[in-house]
Structure 1
Amino acid sequence: MKKRFLTFSLFSLLTMGVMAQVANVSPIPQSVTTTGTFFEAPKQWRITSDRARTSSYALTAVSELGVELTPRAKFRVTLGVVGDKSVSKVQKLVPEKAEGYYMAVGPKGIVIAGRDERGLYYGVQTLRRMAAKGKLETCTLQDWPDVPFRGAIEGFYGQPWSHEHRLRQLDFYGHNKMNVYIYGPKDDPYHRDHWRDPYPTREAQQLQELNERAKLRGVNFYWAIHPGVDIKWNDEDRQNLVQKLERMYGLGIRSFAVFFDDIWGEGAKGEKQAALLNYVDSVFVKKHGDIAPLLLCPTEYNRAWSRNDSPYLAALGNGLNKGIEVMWTGNSVVHTIDKEGMEWINQRIKRKGYIWFNFPVNDFVRDHILLGPTYGNGLDIADDLSGFVSNPMQYAESSKIALFSIADYTWNMKHYDWKASWRRAIIDLLPSDSIALLTFASYNEDLGPNGHGFRRDESRQLEALEKRIKAVADGEVDREAVQELSQTCFELGTACDLLLNNTENPWLINELRPWLVQGKLIAQYGGVVCKAARYVNQITAVDAATYNPDDLYTFYSLYRQAQSLRKQMYENEVDKHQLHTYQTGTKLATLRLMPMLDRLMSRVCRNHGYEPISAYAPFTIESNVGQLRQLPISLYGGEAKITPSNEVIKWPAGAQFTIVGDRPFTLTGMDFNLGVNEIAGKFRLDCLLEDGTWKTVSILHYKPTDPVIHTGNELSGLTVKAFRLTNISGADVECYFRHFKFNKQ
């Protein structure tokens, strides 16, 4: 039962860490030996370390633990790195792994010895977690990360993170032992479209501040440049690239990436990319001597876009200097990573792949916010990776649920438990209302239908109930199942109310607000549906003529209330004042809860002789262009928008993209952007008229330099049943799908 699920979850969440303070540590340590005895964490600590650690960011982290640091304290905390006198007695116990550390905790004091500076810092972070509840546990730890480079890449399309959000992210990465942040937002013009130009003073200062915060948190701040859209393969642009990197070096940045993703044409040549990266490696990286290995995001960055004998990947594998890392998203653009897939790519690039994991990014399903667990990646691939970074959402705070688990997974892969990690992530993000957030998050896991075909399970606790609701025959009601469903909706509504009033993390609540409001409406709708299903006094459509408006407890009233709530849900989805930038709607609970409610309401309506209530979906897509076939359509009043596809579209000769209406509709306008100037002549737009004939409508660009395609005047006022766009060029066309919208009466 749902109630039992939540009670169990509450018990699990509240008791985690009671049995052992070391259980509070995230990521999970590699090796722990504990006596199981506890003591109160002293209020005053004395720090002992070599003079070489005086300016260590690990010591700065100790000062942030909330204890009084005084040389007179009896409780001694000894800190050092292998080679320091302070930890010479224990240095043989320090794991011989980069970023590893040894830690011993007892009533008389604590010793933390790092293999290197970052290892020492991570030991302090373990201490921070362990002491969070005011107690310490007598124990020893030997700990190290499984994956060398771990973290996140701000590489999504849409609204980039704010400066404040980035600072908060860097703090979060440090606390969770992630050592990489890659700055590569697609909508930063100085990263991509104007890559040759220097940053304005304010933006440059902010990048400098981010880099300094990253160093304080043990994070490599990677600045990425994307020259591939318009690079000229000549000496001038080679120097432009190096000059831009030198400017960023002048800001203190010491880690760099070069991107060639989502392009085609000359910029996509493997041999030229390899030669350019090698040039940068020799005249820039090796010249300075203090720069991290270069990172390349290739054009063929997933297996679905490549082939077994790919000349592009061979050019990278054979041509790139050793030490240059190559990014990879897996078997497709959005995919989990497994052993076989890693072996496939590593053989071709002749080095360990650096994973760009496209989760929880939602720039291709912007009406969903993804708060579910991180699962599906192999637990046996640590030795096959050079790095693993997550591409998050434009919602920085909400992305921390998945990023917390990415930190867990990449640190100690063999012991990764995605369910436990998800729950710990939620406690970490919102301790005061973790049960409410867990409940709400369970309805925001699946992505819905999308162009990448990537789906997630959702609200697993409802699986048995879903089967029971489906099994009931028409004309019958499983009252116990309906009662359980009603309780489920009540709990969702309660969770939304609690979160809407939460002040502990306003950054998070601000991001979630549109979905929280929608969740409340869904919960109310569910309550009404369950009341209607239990209602005994049957009132038929004929009886409605004698309906008493003062009687709010008839089926007729419940039916009208359900209609009202569905309308409110629709209006909430299309209210642009409630939506975040680039957001296209607010969908949640779409995999199990809403289908259950709609199925039950339809059955009850039929029993009472009423028309079923359902969401209105007037348009569908039919296409033999695989990347476009599953794109969602959003309807805002008279304007319909198709969710953009962010990658390069390979549109075969003669292939079509068709929009079909469920009934004839009158067009008043249309425009679309395929991301290429003067491409309109390669396509034809046809409209299917009511009499079954097709009419061609002219399409054109207003300016040669404007990629937006408009329609001729003959479109306006045309009543059609469908329209289609066909590639008539006689050859395959590579383009984008930046936007596509049409208006109807």
Structure 2
Amino acid sequence: MTTHRGPLALLALFVGLALPVVPAAARPAPATLPAIFPAPAAIALGNGSFALGEAVVLVAAPGADAATVALVRSALAERGIAVSAAARLPATLDRAHVVVGGGDSAPVRAALARAGATLDDQPEGYTLATVARDAGLVVLAGRDAAGQFHAAQTFRQLLRRDALPALVIRDHPAMPIRGTIEGFYGAPWTTQDRLRHLAFLGSVKANTYVYSPKDDPFARDRWREPYPAATLTELGTLVDAARAQHVDFVYAISPGPSVCFSDPADLAALERKFDALRGLGVHRFYVALDDIEYKKWNCAGDEARFGAAGAAAAGTAQAQLLNAVQTGLVRRDPDARPLIMVPTEYYDAKESPYKAALRERLDPRIVVQWTGTDVVPPAISIPDAKAATKAFGRKTLLWDNYPVNDYAQTTGRLLLAPYARREAGLAGELSGILSNPMNQEAPSRVAVTGVAAFAWNDRDYDAERTWHAAARALAGDDARATAALLTFFDTQHLAPTFGSQPWQEQAPRLKAVLDGVRATLADGDATARAEAVATLAAEADAIAAAPDVIRAGAVDPGFAAQSAPWLDAMARWGRALQLSAAGLGAAEAGNPAANGYFAASRRLAAEAAAVPTIKGATRFDGTVKIADGVLDRFVADAPTLIAAPPAR
């Protein structure tokens, strides 16, 4: 009789050791590396793991951030874990304890010592440590209040597991500014959209939201006028919600179309507008000078002050106004953060008279935004960012025009590809990244999750894994809904530029499947062809079913509502592909019914291609695109891949 010996047993025989036999039920669960997004700066596993059980003791250190404590409590409650409070750690833990607070507080220092961990001392940094001894210990230690909150967001992710591994995470962001700028044209987000988005930003450790909708008349066309009281109340609600998420609410104004740079009255109007927002708790402001004509003046006074209109004169005039605004912000508010501006030449790093004037005259405290090598850049490299640093005389804040869909090339599209083709190491040359999202808030989270993760830790960023994490978050960790979302995302993978060539291809996963089917039908034997048709039918079933799965309730309802026309069209395209698969199967069997299947498929494809977008939801209305150039082409070509016999 021959007995198979595993590699460990063979090793034991080789070194003369005996391996004890431990029943599987008695073995402690091993610690396994958790998937945390954004990827932490450093994570190390310890020995063992532990379950929190039905109840834990929460030790909130004196001065612990209130929003963090509330988040920890709600995260535990969502898992059905009861929480009681204590002021300090006992010598022996009879129940799992969670310690939360600043790294300089006595309870947190004591907990870190038990864990053998030290505090991450970078801005917004934190240490999260767990100890799998006694009943278990978790410590969430923040370098500052934001760091505490970020630690709680990581803890929330760990709670998805039944058992917490022993580990130490020391973490902090690579870039100081991370988030979104609601800077698109077309229908602005609603207040409810913004509230949901602020909560999302907090969950992915982003820290900045810029209010800059192009269609807010009181921020652009009528910028000199005060906001109506009701609008101020809504903005105040957003400011409070942002604060609770440790997100900096930045108010942006766009005076460029009508401002008179030399007129003290216009400076005063800007300051009055900022004063009103400061009264709501806003401490950071932004002046947008993009998408304006800078080769003519809006008033005679500017020509008298700065000379003939032109790029260099515009740079000089803008710098003078912005410097005065910056000085006023500091005078009025000791907590004021540096002013942010977006220049008129925002879309490249080429040397120009305008950039030279801005570089030489703009207050060095003012942050300058830049969109990369183009308005919608296909990629951004470290040399690109270095060129921008040189051109503007400071590290720039990247305004990344992804996944915004307010330009003609995006008509009929949701942009749901991963955030990619931004070079690791950009944190060394940028002050941060702000994504310009889509008019559709919930679908925007797919790409913005990647933006936040890249800005947090660009060197360890994995676009594909983060893309999957975004799907899981939208699906509430439901596996079937996550798979349906990823199928849908693939049909919206194309990312256009302002030119004719996209920077991300359409439906790469589906294209690989369909290309494989084509190749097998062309060159495979009968068995292989039958298997290819079966593969095609399974793919068609997944596409046809995905919309109903997405609408079934597990997925964020805002995502389903804002994607409604795309889901409608996807269901039709899925049925068209099912009929194409049935037609190919019939043709392979020599069944003349194939022709009827193909005709029905063409009719459904025509219906799918005619589904319109939600009128007025985006800047350009049109028909919905679903895996265009891939799915439509295959459905059109299917009748030619296997010759169907004529109808009798």
TM-score, length-scaled by structure 1: 0.72
Distance 1:136-1:514 versus aligned 2 partners, 3 A rule: same
1:467-502 alpha-carbon deviations (Å, 9 max, x no partner)? 45665769x995544443333222211222322333
Distance 1:579-1:239 versus aligned 2 partners, 3 A rule: closer
Q: Provide the C-alpha distance between the structure 2 equivalents of 1:376 and 1:366, rounded to a whole number of angstroms.
A: 23
Q: Count matched residues.
A: 575
**Aligned partner letter, 1:441:** F
Q: Provide the C-alpha distance between the structure 2 equivalents of 1:168 and 1:21, rounded to a whole number of angstroms.
A: 32
Which residue of 2 is the match for residue 255 of structure 1? 284
Which residue of 2 is the match for residue 207 of structure 1? 235
Matched, 1:367 2:381: no
Which residue of 2 is the match for residue 26 of structure 1? 37
Query: Which stretch of structure 1 is more off in the superposition, 127-136 or 76-85?
Result: 76-85
Q: Compute the displacement of 1:149 (Å).
A: 0.8
Which residue of 2 is the match for residue 102 of structure 1? 127
- Map residues 637-656 of structure 1 onto 2, 5 A cutoff: none
Q: Provide the C-alpha distance between the structure 1 equivalents of 2:551 and 2:229, rounded to a whole number of angstroms.
A: 38
Which residue of 2 is the match for residue 489 of structure 1? 540
Which residue of 2 is the match for residue 80 of structure 1? 101
- Map residues 578-657 of structure 1 onto 2, 5 A cutoff: 583-601=621-639
Which residue of 2 is the match for residue 501 of structure 1? 552
Q: Provide the C-alpha distance between the structure 2 equivalents of 1:184 and 1:154, rounded to a whole number of angstroms.
A: 5
Q: Provide the C-alpha distance between the structure 2 equivalents of 1:509 and 1:346, rounded to a whole number of angstroms.
A: 41
Distance 1:46-1:260 versus aligned 2 partners, 3 A rule: same
Q: Compute the displacement of 1:598 (Å).
A: 2.1
Q: Provide the C-alpha distance between the structure 1 equivalents of 2:376 and 2:252, rounded to a whole number of angstroms.
A: 21
Which residue of 1 is the match for residue 14 of structure 2? none
Distance 1:37-1:457 versus aligned 2 partners, 3 A rule: farther
1:28-75 alpha-carbon deviations (Å, 9 max, x no partner)? 21111212522111443333344333x632223223221433236843
The answer (yes or no) to whether the contact 1:94–1:113 under 8 Å persists in 2 is yes
Matched, 1:357 2:400: yes
- Map residues 61-76 of structure 1 onto 2, 5 A cutoff: 61-65=71-75, 66=77, 67-71=81-85, 74-76=95-97
Q: Compute the displacement of 1:27 (Å).
A: 1.3
Aligned counterpart for 2:385 among listed residues 335, 342, 352: 342
Matched, 1:385 2:430: yes
Q: Compute the displacement of 1:213 (Å).
A: 0.8
Q: Compute the displacement of 1:22 (Å).
A: 5.5
Which residue of 1 is the match for residue 605 of structure 2? 566
Which residue of 2 is the match for residue 47 of structure 1? 58
Q: Provide the C-alpha distance between the structure 2 equivalents of 1:608 and 1:273, rounded to a whole number of angstroms.
A: 73
Query: Which stretch of structure 1 is more off in the superposition, 110-119 or 89-98?
Result: 89-98
Structure 1 unpaired stretches of 5+: 1-17, 540-551, 611-745
Q: Compute the displacement of 1:204 (Å).
A: 0.7
Report the RMSD for the aligned CA atoms in angstroms: 3.0
The answer (yes or no) to whether the contact 2:570–2:608 under 8 Å persists in 1 is no
Aligned counterpart for 2:443 among listed residues 398, 403, 407: 398
**Aligned partner letter, 1:165:** D
Q: Compute the displacement of 1:208 (Å).
A: 0.6
Q: Provide the C-alpha distance between the structure 2 equivalents of 1:328 and 1:96, rounded to a whole number of angstroms.
A: 30
SS at match of 2:74: coil
Q: Compute the displacement of 1:285 (Å).
A: 2.9
**Aligned partner letter, 2:239:** N
**Aligned partner letter, 1:64:** S
Q: Provide the C-alpha distance between the structure 1 equivalents of 2:627 and 2:506, rounded to a whole number of angstroms.
A: 8
Which residue of 1 is the match for residue 574 of structure 2? 523
The answer (yes or no) to whether the contact 1:177–1:407 under 8 Å persists in 2 is yes
Q: Compute the displacement of 1:601 (Å).
A: 3.6
Q: Provide the C-alpha distance between the structure 2 equivalents of 1:75 and 1:555, rounded to a whole number of angstroms.
A: 65
Distance 1:21-1:259 versus aligned 2 partners, 3 A rule: farther
**Aligned partner letter, 1:143:** D
Q: Provide the C-alpha distance between the structure 1 equivalents of 2:73 and 2:326, rounded to a whole number of angstroms.
A: 39
Aligned counterpart for 2:157 among listed residues 122, 125, 129: 129
Which residue of 2 is the match for residue 277 of structure 1? 322
Q: Provide the C-alpha distance between the structure 2 equivalents of 1:534 and 1:84, rounded to a whole number of angstroms.
A: 70
Q: Higher strand share goes to which structure?
A: 1
Distance 1:449-1:493 versus aligned 2 partners, 3 A rule: farther
**Aligned partner letter, 1:319:** R
Matched, 1:458 2:506: yes
Matched, 1:56 2:107: no
Distance 1:22-1:123 versus aligned 2 partners, 3 A rule: farther
Aligned counterpart for 1:93 among listed residues 115, 118, 124: 118
Which residue of 1 is the match for residue 201 of structure 2? 173
Which residue of 2 is the match for residue 422 of structure 1? 467
Which residue of 1 is the match for residue 251 of structure 2? 223
Matched, 1:140 2:168: yes
SS at match of 2:459: helix
The answer (yes or no) to whether the contact 1:156–1:392 under 8 Å persists in 2 is yes
Q: Provide the C-alpha distance between the structure 2 equivalents of 1:41 and 1:553, rounded to a whole number of angstroms.
A: 63
Which residue of 1 is the match for residue 10 of structure 2? none
Aligned counterpart for 2:374 among listed residues 324, 327, 332: 332
**Aligned partner letter, 1:492:** I
The answer (yes or no) to whether the contact 1:21–1:130 under 8 Å persists in 2 is no
1:442-476 alpha-carbon deviations (Å, 9 max, x no partner)? 111114686474331233334444445665769x9
Q: Compute the displacement of 1:503 (Å).
A: 5.3
The answer (yes or no) to whether the contact 1:500–1:513 under 8 Å persists in 2 is no
SS at match of 2:338: coil
Q: Compute the displacement of 1:323 (Å).
A: 1.9
**Larger relative contact order (CA 8 Å, sep ≥ 6):** 2
Q: Compute the displacement of 1:246 (Å).
A: 1.0
Query: Which stretch of structure 1 is more off in the superposition, 193-202 or 585-594?
Result: 585-594
- Map residues 153-192 of structure 1 onto 2, 5 A cutoff: 153-192=181-220
Q: Compute the displacement of 1:248 (Å).
A: 1.0
**Aligned partner letter, 1:502:** G
